[in-house]
Amino acid sequence: MSTAPSIQASAKAERRRLAVIGGLRSSMTAIVLIAAYYLLPLDRLSGVSLAVSLAVGLAALTGIAAYQVRAIIRHPHSAVRAIEALAITVPLFLLLFAATYFLMAQANTDNFNIHSLTRTDSLYFTITVFATVGFGDISATSQVARIAVMVQMILDLLVVGLLVKVFLNAVQLGREQQAPKQDTEPT
């Protein structure tokens, strides 16, 4: 009997199905986050301290990342779940800084070299800083804005390095925890 190849083919099809579902779920989450960024009335936060808003946003992001780590460890296909977690966490991180820059520009037009920084300008600036491209068409001009950009740069390194490492460790831990379950399952 040749059941081993059919089991392998079935497992491969299941991983492919999970990858597609994870990709769709990640894409939908990113779309919802971007829509929220453009639709939420950020101008109502003008009375709230930008430092407090950013700190609360980063704390929420940390909580979401911690939740993602737990979800990766518990998921039977932890690598697929880790990719999904990155596809959710990184856009959220970028949108948090884009919203911060947008609010900074609204609070004081001297924070950036462009006087009317739109949400798209803010997102564009955030992504160019994250990608270390820095075209120079938009730049921080005040000390406060430069500090915010430096904070983003430092956190960019942490997101790229530390978050990926934490998610990869969670994948490994999840696989180790799933292995005993797979060994005890009847074939």
3-state secondary structure of 24: helix
pLDDT tens for 97-156 read 999 999 999 989 999 999 889 999 999 999 999 998 888 899 999 999 999 999 999 999
Specify the pLDDT at position 60. Answer: 94
* Cβ atoms < 10 Å from Cβ of 9: 10
Cβ 155 vs Cβ 129: under 8 Å: no
CB 97 within 8 A of CB 80: no
Angle at 74 between CA 72 and CA 96, to 5 degrees: 35
Q: What is the pLDDT of residues 32-86, one digit of tens each?
A: 999 999 999 987 877 778 888 889 999 999 999 999 999 999 988 888 889 889 8
| CA 135 vs CA 131, 139, 152: distances in Å | 10, 9, 16
Greater model confidence, 102 or 159? 102
Q: Are 84 and 69 in contact (CB under 8 A)?
A: no
Measured distance between the N- and C-terminal CA atoms of the chain, rounded to whole angstroms: 14
Q: DSSP class of residue 112?
A: B
Structural domains of the chain in order of their starting residue, each with its CATH number: 8-34+47-176 (1.10.287)
